[in-house]
Amino acid sequence: MSREKTFFILIISGIVFVIIGTLSIYDSNIPRAASLDGSVKTNATDILTPIMNPGSKANIAINGSRFDFAVYGTDKELILSVKNMTYFNYDLVANKSGEFRFEIKNIGTSSLNIIGSAETKASPVALGAAMMLIITGIIVAGLGIKSKIR
């Protein structure tokens, strides 16, 4: 393969990596609706942690066996706590940005059913993956430039 062809392939590949990584970072900061549906077995605890922006909404309905339910805010402060319930419905509108925590502990003799959704952003791991794409793109473009110089 000629040096000129290698140069263009590497430069274009590097630019594509950088563009995809940049778009991924932008997209990961936009809240998306995520399902909270599931079940919790007897004597088990389920912890849900949506990362929300101010004004983002979450709703959750729990029914079945007896349970304890708590919601913690972004600063780990207790927002709501209910104990020994068999049905509960809760709507949350985030007042500030950050990770909220829903804890559901099944204290009954049968499974719990959870139905709901939350607007959540991508985790910090997704940001790391996007940054790796950008760095890889810069390295590949640099190799392309190096192949042209030789």
| pTM (whole model) above 0.85 | no
Q: What is the pLDDT, as a whole number, of residue 90?
A: 95
**In the chain, domain spans:** 1-29+122-150, 31-121
Q: What is the pLDDT, as a whole number, of residue 150?
A: 65
What whole-number distance in Å separates Cα of residue 97 and Cα of residue 57?
12
What tens digit of pLDDT does each residue of 32-45 get? 889 989 999 999 99
C-alpha distances out from residue 77 to 95, 98, 113, Å: 13, 12, 26
Q: What is the pLDDT, as a whole number, of residue 121?
A: 87
What whole-number distance in Å separates Cα of residue 87 and Cα of residue 35?
19
Q: What is the pLDDT, as a whole number, of residue 82?
A: 96
Residues whose CB is less than 8 angstroms from the CB of residue 22 and which lie 6 or more positions away in sequence, other chains included: 130, 134
What whole-number distance in Å separates Cα of residue 120 and Cα of residue 59?
12
Class level of CATH domain 31-121 = mainly beta
Look up residue 133 and give its two tokens: 């794409």
Q: What is the pLDDT, as a whole number, of residue 67?
A: 96
Question: In the chain, which stretches have pLDDT less than 70?
Answer: 150
User: Strand, helix or coil at 116?
Assistant: strand
